[in-house]
Chains A and B, each alone.
Chain A
Amino acid sequence: MSPSAAIVGVGKTAQGTLPGATALGLQIAAVKGTLADSGLDKSEIDGLLTQPGTTAPEGAYNYLRLGEALGLSLRFGGSFAMGGATCLASLQMAAHAVSSGAANAVLCVFGDVARSGGSKFDRAAGWGDSWGIWGMFSAAANSAMTARRHMHEFGTESRHLGEVAIASRRHASLNPDAVMRAPLTMEQYLASRFIVEPLRLYDCCLISDGAVAFLVTTLERARDLRQRPVRVMGAAQAHSPETIGNPDWWYMPHQRLAIEQVYAQAGVGPADMDFAQIYDNFTISVIVWLEQAGFCERGEGGPFVEGGRIQLGGELPVNTAGGNLSESYMQGWLHLVEAVRQLRGECGDRQVPDAEIGLVTGRGMTLNCSAAAVLGRG
């Protein structure tokens, strides 16, 4: 069932390297921006969901700390961590909370000082016996395993990964708020150093300071607020907790399950999408999501991204603000902001003409949890 909910405000801080900033201070700034954007008064907020940043020592207390700072009284709240799937899982929960009446208006917030705080994303996965015993460290390595198998099984090439990096950078060059705006050529991409082969430097997302927030309320309440509402046509999660106990772990089958749910809820399919904001912690992620989301067949994601097809002006513009790779690494939260702004028609030089429906995806942890949403112009 599709929830009767809308996104009525978005906010974000400056992104990149913000020395002296704190995650809490950034979260507060993003919330204030969101309230101003929406025109909704703080007194109407009765739900708060947050993703603790990588440098937040308070962990699951994060929403209480932020709620205390903001002077909120809540009927619905919590902090949880699904990595890059948290944003859209928060959207799903917020949408159902307002649809059911559990809350009237839910703020969803992420803030982090990963760059200034020195977060490395270098940990080894594995319960009990760590994968680090064999040297298997970092988020990059998990995605590199996926990329290598994809190359072997389907003939995907380095230059296909490069097409994703180049498209993101081109879009970031049209986004005044993006961190990395200098153009990237295929020559530069192919000459960049390997981090975890087959992934190179430009296959990897940024590490950034910043915060993002958005506000969800009922469609009914949304109608007399400041912004044209953005409808939550579908929002879903899916998880594959088994990691390497699941033979398909590398291909992230839960992504397909998340997608099937949101298409069914929204009554749409891939051909209906005017754009897609696809989780891109590493370039290979975009290629696999494009397959899972039905824009092309399994294994055809590499050729699909060629020829400018995922660039603005192409068949399916992807990550129109630059994504985690070039805009800023907000663990997918900026993907949602960009989708909302595209549907409101606020994106200037990078606006997708007449954008009415878009897909947003997220994935986190050990490649094993995901969330997706279909958003529509209200």
Chain B
Amino acid sequence: MMDYLKPLPTITDENEPFWSGLEHGELRFQRCGGCGHYRYPIAPVCPRCLAVDFVWTPVSGRGRVFSYVVFHHAYHRGFAADLPYNVALIRLEEGIFMFSNIVGIGNEAIVCDMPVMVDYERVTDTITLPRFRPVLMP
């Protein structure tokens, strides 16, 4: 884990609850105390009602692949050994959109709208990243 060469989050007072939640296996987001809107990216105020109050609220971790791409070029040296690698835009059940990676299947098996579930990958001693794994439909 000492030679993790990819970008890592810079932990701040604002984002610490997001990242410490992941350490404990919990994906959580800011939910507005005024209107209930989940906001992401992490922000100082609700973009719907401008209320400042919020509660860090766990989400189901379930969502769908809204879109995805496969990188064949390494714009960052930390990803060079992973080529070709995917990045997906996930739409969570709660309506939140976030970027992540699809794990557990080959890039060629990814399709838009496929159901996925959050998975947690500890990448350094202090950082765990949320990834997403396909859910087999019954």
Binding site for B on A (CB under 8 A): 120, 122, 124, 126-138, 141, 144-146, 148-149, 152-153, 193-198, 242-245, 247, 249-250
Q: Whose C-beta in chain B lies nearest to the C-beta of A150?
A: B67
**Are A134's CB and B87's CB within 8 A?**
yes
Question: Told that A131-B99, A194-B70 touch, could you supply 19 new A-B pairs with CB distance under 8 A?
Answer: A127-B41, A128-B15, A130-B7, A133-B8, A135-B71, A137-B71, A137-B75, A141-B87, A144-B69, A149-B67, A153-B112, A193-B72, A194-B72, A197-B70, A243-B41, A244-B89, A245-B41, A247-B91, A250-B66
**Are A133's CB and B75's CB within 8 A?**
no
Chain A nearest CB, measured from B110 CB (Å): 9
For the complex, is B100 an interface residue (Cβ under 8 Å from A)?
yes
CB-defined contacts of B73 to chain A, threshold 8 Å? 195-196
Could you write out 20 A-B pairs with CB less than 8 Å apart?
A122-B75, A129-B15, A131-B99, A132-B7, A135-B71, A135-B79, A135-B85, A137-B71, A144-B69, A145-B89, A148-B112, A149-B112, A193-B72, A195-B72, A196-B69, A243-B41, A244-B40, A244-B41, A244-B99, A247-B95
Chain A nearest CB, measured from B43 CB (Å): 8
Report if A152-B112 is in contact (Cβ < 8 Å); known contacts: A133-B7, A197-B72. yes
Report if A250-B89 is in contact (Cβ < 8 Å); known contacts: A144-B69, A152-B113. yes
**Are A152's CB and B67's CB within 8 A?**
yes
CB-defined contacts of B45 to chain A, threshold 8 Å? none
CB-defined contacts of A124 to chain B, threshold 8 Å? 7, 76
CB-defined contacts of B6 to chain A, threshold 8 Å? 132-133, 135
**Are B76's CB and A132's CB within 8 A?**
yes
CB-defined contacts of B97 to chain A, threshold 8 Å? 244-245, 247, 249
Interface size class of B (residues with CB under 8 A): 35 or more
Chain A nearest CB, measured from B99 CB (Å): 5
Q: Which of B67, B72, B101 has the most CB of A within 10 A?
A: B67
Q: Which of B86-108 contact A (CB under 8 A)?
A: 87, 89, 91, 95, 97-101
CB-defined contacts of B8 to chain A, threshold 8 Å? 133
CB-defined contacts of A153 to chain B, threshold 8 Å? 112
CB-defined contacts of A149 to chain B, threshold 8 Å? 66-67, 89, 112
**Are A145's CB and B69's CB within 8 A?**
yes
For the complex, is B52 an interface residue (Cβ under 8 Å from A)?
no
Chain B nearest CB, measured from A44 CB (Å): 45
Bound CA–CA A128/B19 (angstroms) = 12
For the complex, is B82 an interface residue (Cβ under 8 Å from A)?
yes
Identify the 3 closest CB pairs spanning chains A and B, nearest first: A137-B75, A152-B112, A197-B70
Chain B nearest CB, measured from A368 CB (Å): 13
CB-defined contacts of B95 to chain A, threshold 8 Å? 247
Chain B nearest CB, measured from A167 CB (Å): 24
For the complex, is B59 an interface residue (Cβ under 8 Å from A)?
no
Contact among B41, B47, B87 for A136, CB-based, below 8 A: B87
**Are B9's CB and A133's CB within 8 A?**
yes
**Are A128's CB and B42's CB within 8 A?**
yes
CB-defined contacts of B67 to chain A, threshold 8 Å? 145-146, 148-149, 152, 250
Bound CA–CA A247/B48 (angstroms) = 13
Q: Whose C-beta in chain B lies nearest to the C-beta of A241?
A: B47
Bound CA–CA A149/B97 (angstroms) = 14
Bound CA–CA A130/B12 (angstroms) = 13
Q: Which of B14, B73, B87, B99 has the most CB of A within 10 A?
A: B99
CB-defined contacts of B58 to chain A, threshold 8 Å? none
Q: Whose C-beta in chain B lies nearest to the C-beta of A137?
A: B75
Bound CA–CA A247/B40 (angstroms) = 11
Q: Which of B1-60 contact A (CB under 8 A)?
A: 6-9, 12, 14-15, 18, 39-42, 47
For the complex, is B111 an interface residue (Cβ under 8 Å from A)?
yes
**Are A141's CB and B71's CB within 8 A?**
yes
For the complex, is B118 an interface residue (Cβ under 8 Å from A)?
no
For the complex, is B129 an interface residue (Cβ under 8 Å from A)?
yes
Bound CA–CA A195/B70 (angstroms) = 8
Bound CA–CA A193/B83 (angstroms) = 13
